Chain A
Amino acid sequence: MKPSFEQDSDLIRRAQSGEKAAYGLLVQSYMQPAYYSALALVGSHDDALDLSQQAFIRTWKAISRFEAGKKFFTWYYRILRNLCLNRLRDRSRHARTFSDFDNVIDIADEASDPSALLEREQLRSEVRSALGKLRPEEREIIVMKEFDDYSYMEISELLECPIGTVMSRLYYARKHLKELLEDLL
């Protein structure tokens, strides 16, 4: 169940007074969206686990500066996102390519109409590969919308940009994806 703002505020107050167990409950509330958000950006299980945990350590270190009235996950996400983008930059500097996205995306449901199955499977398989070819920021916004079903307002908070920019970024990310899949659409 999604934690409420009031529950978070209470846990943060307790964490700010040094109660690690309260912070632990906060971590447990958000570890899954944290891990999956990192996975969408970096495309590797080990990196997603490492970076999402590192981000929780950083937010703990800075918890005294957390402003009441803000959303914890929005604050946490900014730190996580920077860590992920830095890791990707390090990877590109060391010539490690991002090639394993096929291994971190799964099929969410099965087609019910057998006649459409083959065509649909081919398209899904190609979409999965194409997602790995997008820029991380493009993949991030597509995953937020299509996998996590965030509203424009929620995406705008997480990415700290106006809703108009969210729509524009979504359009260009989808356009790039469409271009990669033009023959199948």
Chain B
Amino acid sequence: MIRMDDDRFRMLMMKALDGELAGSEHSEFENFLSEEKRMNEWNKYRKLKEATMSLKMKTPSGEIWDSYWGGVYNCFERGFA
């Protein structure tokens, strides 16, 4: 039973983090958070998500987009296609 609750909580927590909770899942998730241990876990995942979302892949120099298709096309012309 505890194992099932844990699995359900994890699934709801992922949905809550990603804004994918639907209908009665909101109140079900709120009920889980009445337990201090689960609330602490939730707060850690929220903090982690916030930090991760503030990162992005580094933008390469603009020229790579200008020559990108040319690079693919040259391979066709050299007979790799």
Contact = CB atoms under 8 A, between A and B. Distances in A.
Interface of A: 20, 24, 27-28, 31-32, 35-36, 39-40, 45, 49, 53, 56-57, 60-61, 103-109, 120, 123-124, 127-128, 131, 142-143, 145-147, 151-152, 164, 167-168, 170-171, 174, 177-178, 181, 185
B56 A147 contact: yes
Interface of B: 10-11, 13-15, 17-18, 20, 44-45, 47-49, 51-60, 64-65, 68-69, 71-73, 75-76, 80-81
Contacts of B55: 105-108, 124, 127-128, 131, 146-147
Given A31-B69, A35-B60, A105-B57, A124 B51 contact: yes
Given A27-B68, A152-B18, A178 B48 contact: yes
B58 A108 contact: no
A53 B56 CA distance: 22
A185 B50 CA distance: 11
29 contacts: A20-B76, A24-B69, A24-B73, A27-B69, A28-B68, A31-B65, A49-B68, A53-B72, A56-B72, A57-B80, A57-B81, A60-B81, A105-B56, A105-B57, A107-B54, A124-B51, A124-B55, A128-B55, A131-B52, A131-B55, A142-B52, A146-B53, A146-B55, A152-B20, A171-B11, A171-B13, A177-B48, A178-B44, A185-B47
B51 A120 contact: yes
A71 B59 CA distance: 26
Contacts of B59: 106
Contacts of B73: 20, 24
A53 B68 contact: yes
